[in-house]
Amino acid sequence: MSQKTIFNLKENLLETYNVSLDYHGVSGKRLAERLGALSKIGLTEQNGSYRTGFSFEEKEAKELVMKWMKEAGLSVHQDGAGNVFGRLEGKRPGVPAVLSGSHVDSVQNGGHFDGPLGVLSALEVAEAWRETGFTPEKPFEVVIFSDEEGSRFHGGLNGSEAFMGSGDLDEKIKKKDINGESFEKVLQDVGLSLESYSNAKRDLDDIETFIEIHIEQGKRLEKEELPCGIVTGIAGPQWLEYTFQGEAGHAGNTPMNDRKDALLAASEFIIKLNQIPQQINDTAVATVGKLHVEPNGVNVIPGKVTLYVDIRDIYEESRDTLVNRIIQLGEEIGVSHKLSVTYKETLKSPPVPISEDQQELLEEAMKVNGIRPYRLPSGAGHDAMVLGAQIPIVMLFVKSRDGISHNPTEWSDLNDCIQTIHVLKTYIEKLQY
């Protein structure tokens, strides 16, 4: 019997579940069943998830959630970008809606919680209200955004960008997916079009706020022994492409004191760069994860190195300070090694802060549910980042085992998931008044 046959996410989740967490209409078994059902769509040989954006697997997952939405009494529709909305009308018609959700696509051979947990958490709130006979004052919508991960076109958030009208369609049209298919062809394959995609923009006056539940993808909550935490802001990435230009030479015939070793200079740059973020604040980070060495020979002194610096912070001012310090470091390295050091900016996205008022309201919701409030930044991008550029957003992170994500071993305990849903439900109910 293959490993794929015996994989059972539902049973694995329920194995250590504390049923005392089932109250106020929230059901751990229902959430486990639904996470388990979604895990079977695009299941890989390694028991991971393979539902790339705008794929038939993503579409199948959406259709299954749409079925559950209808069974929960929600009115369901899909926009021209494939985004799905399950709406519960409130007692006060015409007022802006509260939205909550995430995505159901995955990276290649990813995990089963990144995205689906956010969608099903929002749906579980609606299910709990149906079971307890509660009707919110304001409309509530459960949302599934298309192609968040971007593993298909090496650039994600395509559904939320269409929803907000913020994506550059001309640039998207130029892209080819991992199979060489155009953006237009990929949309057509799942019943969409460039025209429908470009017309998917929502009237933002109809939206009060968006709340996203997401796994942490880090270890802070695990170290704090907390089921969930309040996101203080979403870091805006800025990428710099650096070129260190020295002189290639024979490794045996060039004396050590007569070299312009580009890799040596780049190495010193990387080591010193690693020390700068912590000198600024505890939310700033900087990473060199990719570099090219030329001519890349065993017996040749490296003459040229190109590397890429990923710089992030949730505060724009301190991120700019970090960028300036890194630029200064590059100049100093160039002088000390007597070689050329140049850079160019390849990406710059603004950080998305989350209002203090909403963070305090989340703190109240956590205290009501007996959880110690804890705040932490998000270093990764999410659909909430796209929405947060124009409308109020909040995020709750769920504890991740070992901080692993985008991997078949990605795991969030069902007890932690359900406790987070109780916080989400309490928070949304506080928004009604």
> Can you tell me which residue has the tokens 């030329």?
294
**Crossing angle for the helix pair 28-39 and 116-132, to the nearest 10 degrees:** 140
3-state secondary structure of 426: helix
84 pairs with which residues across the strands? 78, 144
Does the annotation place 382 within a ligand binding site? Answer: no
Q: Measured at the alpha carbon of residue 354, what is the angle toward residues 104 and 166, in degrees to the nearest 5? A: 55
Burial 221-254 (b: 16+ CB within 10 A, else e): beeeebbbbbbbbbbbbbebebbbbbbbbeeeeb
Does the annotation place 112 within a ligand binding site? Answer: no
Number of CB atoms found within 10 A of residue 414's CB: 21
- DSSP-derived pairing of the beta strands 84-88 and 140-145: antiparallel
Instruction: Identify the sign of the CA torsion 421, 425, 428, 430.
Output: negative
The CA dihedral of 385, 126, 28, 18, to the nearest 10 degrees, is 90
Question: How would you classify residue 142: left for phi > 0, otherwise alpha for psi between -120 and 50, otherwise beta?
Answer: beta
CB 119 within 8 A of CB 34: no
Cα–Cα distance list, 18 to 24, 34, 94, 397 (Å): 15, 18, 40, 20
SS3 for 32-101 is HHHHHHHHCCCECCCCCECCCCCCHHHHHHHHHHHHHHHHCCCEEEECCCCCEEEEECCCCCCCCEEEEE
Number of CB atoms found within 10 A of residue 394's CB: 23
Does the annotation place 114 within a ligand binding site? Answer: yes
Residues comprising the binding site? 103, 114, 149, 214, 406
Residues comprising the binding site for Zn(2+)? 103, 114, 149, 214, 406
